[in-house]
Every structure is written in structure tokens, then in C-alpha cells.
Structure 1
Amino acid sequence: MKKGKQRVLTLAGLLAVAVGALADPHSEGTELGKSTLGKLSSNVTSANAKSMPFYTDTPSQSSQFGSSSLFTVGTSRINSCKTEADGPDAIANQECDAVNFLAKNPYERVKVDVDENDPIISGIGEIINNAKPDEITESCGTKTTTTPDIYSTEVCNEYNLSDQKICSMGQVVDVDTKANFQCNVTQNALETVSCDKYLVLSCQPPIAGCTGSGIAVNSATISNGAYQFTLVGSALTIVNNVTAINEVTEADFNFFIAGLDRVDEFFINAIHSDNYVGIAVNGIFIGVHGRAFGGWNANATKLVQDTNYSPPHARWSDNPADHYKAETGNNLKTSEHIDLIPYLREGSNVINIKVLNGKGPGYGMVYITAHQQCPPECEETWVDQCSSYEQRSL
């Protein structure tokens, strides 16, 4: 008998250990919450509620208390939230944000078919069918009394210390027709990102050998020592100081152009003659300058010395009758704009200048403006930081 009793006690001890092993932190926490429910509920009072943020005795919804149609109330709020602007309080704005979201996305929310035999439906039907007078207790709401005819608004405070519920954004919940679930979840989440598209310009030094005048460095020479030239920036001046009387002197100004397509200016801006200056570019005679005809004469085909007269005469055509005396009096300087680009060529070029003087010392001066574009070599590259986001939106 003693041995049998010892076995029974041992089995009971094992059961106690097994039951203790089934306990878990969640269950222990739930039991602790239930045991302190009474103490916590005593703190839920009207006085304590007034110290909570956003508490009010007159909420905006109080005007709808006692309404005969919840559908009318909901429709009214949907219409007002369509045009209601956000206020300074971000938390207060959440109401219309939620109303607008639900009103605009009725077909995107998860829909669940509920069978008529679902415990939720059958349970409610059983309660309604078995309801008896005086067994319904009202906890909150608006009450209207007719004796006396007085209206009052009552404020109630509700609290819920039930188990914690968690719903995760982006999680898909599969349910059947008999399942009870605690929240609907969305399959899409909004994300605010920023990105840039910008142009990067990378430039290298200008083209090698490019000059501001278009005349290659160290390529300009003059064939007659009586002539001189100066080239400063885009200003070219060719000068002949003549001492010979009644004679034609001439010189070739040779130079090299690299990049004729980038030469945007090459023109004679002024001529000073005493007594005649004739100009040819790359073998093409372009005219004569002199006081006898008031400045530049583009119709002249030559400037030669006519020895049939004494003193010799100047001639600018093949017709012996078309001539003037070499000495015409005072010198003449005029501003001109004679474009030389049509006569230029890539590579070697030559400008021939003839000067005819009469009785006294004379000279010829030709002023030229020359300019070549020397842009840096640049490459444009677009940097697109948004392409990955655009692919995600497809």
C-alpha cells in the first residue's frame, strides 16, 4: 500500500511540472493585466480625461448625436472632406485623410465573403432572437428626456485593455469564409523619394594652334622691306612709306590660316592713301583707293603706271582714257568695310598691296580686323539619378 501511494504522488508531481512548462511570457503578461484591471479602470474618469491631448466636451460629431440615419451622416462627411483644407493640426487632419482614402478606394480594399452560417452572423441572430425586455444596458450615447423637456450631452470614457493586435503594411492576409480577422491590410505603400537629372559639361583647352586673329603664329611675312606690318590681337595693319616719286611699289603679305570655318571676321576697316592703293587677295584684284574718286573704287581692275604721260599717271583699268595724274593733292583716309573672307582659303594666303605716289613722299596704309573663334572642346553628359525609380513605377 505504501508503495502504490508513492507512485501516485510522483505522477502528480510530473503533471505539476508539465503544466508549469506550458506557461509563456505573453500569457503571464495577460494574466497580470487582468489582475490589475480594477486598479487601472478607477483612473478612467472625466477629470483625468480632460488632461489628455485633444480632449473636448463638445466634439464636432456631437451635432449628429440622435440622428435618425447614419447613412446621411456619413454621406455628409464624405462631401465635406472632399473640399476641406488641411488645418495646422496634423492629428486633426487625419480624420478627413481617412474618410477621403476610404471613399476613393472602395475597390482596392480586401473583400471577404461571409457565409450566413459564420459564427459572427449566427451569434448576432441568436442574441437578437432571444432578446428580452430590460436586459439591454446602454453604456454611452445621447439621451433625451421628455419630462421635463431638457436636453443634455453626456460624455463617457471607454477603455480597452485587451490583447495587443498588430497589422503590418504590405502583408497579404488569406482568409476563408469562416475566419475572424482583426484588420484589413493594403498591398501598396506610399514612398516619398527625391532624385535629380543634371547636365555635366566637361571642357578641354581650345583647339591647338587656334589664334584670336585666325593667322597662325609665326606664319606672317612681308616680301618687301619697305613695307611693315603689325598684328596685335585681332588688329592687323600693313604700311608702306613710299619715298620714290612717280613709281608703283608693291609687297606680298603672306600668312597661314588653320580653321577657316572658324574665322568669323576678316575685313578691311579703313584705308589711308597718298596717292593710290590697290589691293589683291590670293590673285584676285578687289579695288583701288584714292582721292581722285573719293575713296574706295571696287570697280577698278588694275593699278598700273601709265608711262604715256609725263609725269606718269595712275590707271585702274585697261582703257588708256581711264586714268588720273599720279599726284592728286592731299592724302585721303576713309573708313571702309570690305569683307575678305570670300577670297581667303584654308592654309596659305597672300594679300598683295600696291602703292602709287606722285610728286612728294607718299604712303599707303591698310587696316584689317581679323578674328577667329577658339572655343574649348566640350562634352555634355546627362546624369540621371531617377531611372531606377522610373523602372519601379512601371
Structure 2
Amino acid sequence: MKYLHLAAGLVAACLIASVQAAGPAFDPAQLTSKHDAGIDFAKSQLGKSAANVNQTNAKNTPFYNPSPKQSAGFVSTDIFGIGSSRITECKTEAKGTDKVANQECEAVNFLAKNPDNRKRFQLSSNDPAVLAGRSAINNAKKDMFSDNGCVLKTTTTPSQYRIESCNEYNPVSAMNCVMGREVVVNSASNFMCDVTLNALEQVNCNRGVSPVFASYPQSWSVNRGSEVPEWSTRTFDMSINIDGVPDQFTLDSYTVDNYGQLWINDNLVYQNIVPSLNGDLRYSYFATTTQEWCGDLWGDGGYACQMQTTTGFFFRDGRPSSYGDDNCNAGCHGLNPNINVTPYLRQGYNKIELVCINAKAVGPCAVSLSGSRKAIVGTTVSDGCQALRQRTL
């Protein structure tokens, strides 16, 4: 694949070679004289041309725009950045209906050598332009001016430079030092200290308004035994509201028949159980199950199956357990525990959960709490910093 600009260059080289070969001998002096004449003519027109560049004439030019979109970069020194951004924009900018207005991006894309925006032509190796260019290259000589007019020239692309700035700084770090007097003592020293230096002392004190508390008695009791039928378990959700800070509360009585637990704010406070009931008894239940038993049911060495229905006790997670009547229907377990339950209570509403498991006969399901609470009844103004201020005078 050959590109058009390569073919055009080869054709131009060959045309120059043909013209010079056919014409008279080339004279370098004539070229210099014509070059100088061109420079003199341009200088003579410079003042006249500059006078024509003004605001009035600019408005008469086609497509005049007093605020072009490139005006933001007129005062910028980052010429490289402006050109780079315009190249990026022209890669994707769509063409409009005005062909003259489209010439800007067409020129940018051409200069940026974007391959996607160039037209490509298929040239064969026997194309006349390729053959003529190859002949011109092969016939070129290393002399400055050869007979066929071809000149060997080496072009070096200059390096590109960008001016960047950087800042150097010295970091500031915290430094610690010790200021004071150092006394050096040796065997020949003879001195005495009669002045004591005051040391820095940091002392806290309170000054302001302090609350005044008063203690009020409070008690709470409940008995739900009548709501627990034979061979059943019940969990009673209740609450106690303490209007103030709990001061001292005691579990005075606990009478549960046959087995049970007392929970305060999800903490197990007291219970009376047998080993088979060890665990969380809240929301436990009785259930009746039917199961088929197979084997030597009659002891005669034979094999038989029989459906058996049993009623049992289950924890709330489905684990089975068993227990019997402890013959304590009067609620003899933990009549007067007298234990401190203050750590389990808090100001405001407290959740109380009482679990009662009954066997044969209905018995008690009762607890009672008593204690006191502290409440704010007023305020006092105090100044605990007065003594410290006197020391600083």
C-alpha cells in the first residue's frame, strides 16, 4: 500500500530532474540573487500590509467572529496544550454544511497526520509515478549539484521541548528541646540552694451548676399462677418503669410451681429447675407426638410394630426434655432469695420475663421486687475553683 503524498513526492522529484536536465546549466549565483530580491520586495510591502491589519478590515473578512472559541487561550503560555486539545477535538468533530468552516479541522487533521482522515490509494509497483521516482533516486549522485539536478539532502527532525516548573520545599517538623539550668556537681563544689523554682501543676476543678438528687422508694410484684394450667408452660412478658436512676433493688420473693426462670432485660436473674431443664426456658412448650415403634414388643422373640402417642416437654429450639412433679405445689423453691438485682435494671422501661412450668396442680407463679430510685429535684451553684484561684495570686 503506497500513500498519495509519497507518490506525489516522487513525481515532483522526477519533474525537477527532467526540467534541469533539459535546460541550461544551473547557476547558484542566480538563485541567491533572486532570493535577495524577494526579501527586499517583502520588506518594502511590510509597512503597507501592516497598516491594513485593523479591527475595521477584520470585520469585513469572511466568517469574522469577535469571540472565537479559541479566545480562552490567547493569553495562555501553554501553546502546546491548546494545540493538543484542538487536535483531540478535531478527531471526532462532525463536519457542518459550510465547507469553508470545515477547513479548520481538515487542516488540523492533515497536519496531525491522523491516518483515519487521509484518503488512501492503491498504487501498483509498475505505476509510472513509482517507476519515475525510483529512477530519480537511483540516478542521484552524492555531489552537491549533479548533472540530472537531484540533490542529496539530510534532514534532521529537531527535538521537541516543553517548559515545566517544579517547586522545592523543606518540610517543617516538630522539634523538641529542653530549656532550663543544669547544675554540674563535682568533688570541689561548694554551693547551697535557697530558692526553689516553682513547677508547673495541672489541677482540675468544677465550677457551675450541680444537680440535687432525692431517693424515692419503688416496688413491683406479680402473680400469674392461675394462668398456668396443668402440664403446661407459660412465658409472661411484662415491664417496670423506673423514673430515675436505680439506687438499690432486691428480689424479695420468688415462688414458682413447679419450675421457672426470671429474666430482666434479657439477663437470667433467678431460676428453680432440674438438670434436664438446664437452658433457656422462655417460650418452651408441651407437644403430643405419634411415633411407630418396631421390634420385640411382647418379649416373645418376635417382631412387631405399634404406633405410640406421647406427650412431652420441648425447649423453644425444639430440643426435647422431661421432668416430673416435685411435690412442691406451694412454691417452696426460693421463697425469699433477697439477691441484689440493681445491676440488671436501668432508668426508664425494663423488660421482665417470668417463665412458669406447671405439672399436676395449679400453683403460684409470682415474684416481687423492692428498692429505691434517685431523681433530680433541683440544682445547686458551686464554685470548686475558688481555692485554686487564691493560690495563683
When normalised by structure 2's length, the TM-score is: 0.32
When normalised by structure 1's length, the TM-score is: 0.32
> Which structure exhibits the higher relative contact order, with contacts defined as CA atoms closer than 8 Å and separated by 6 or more residues?
2
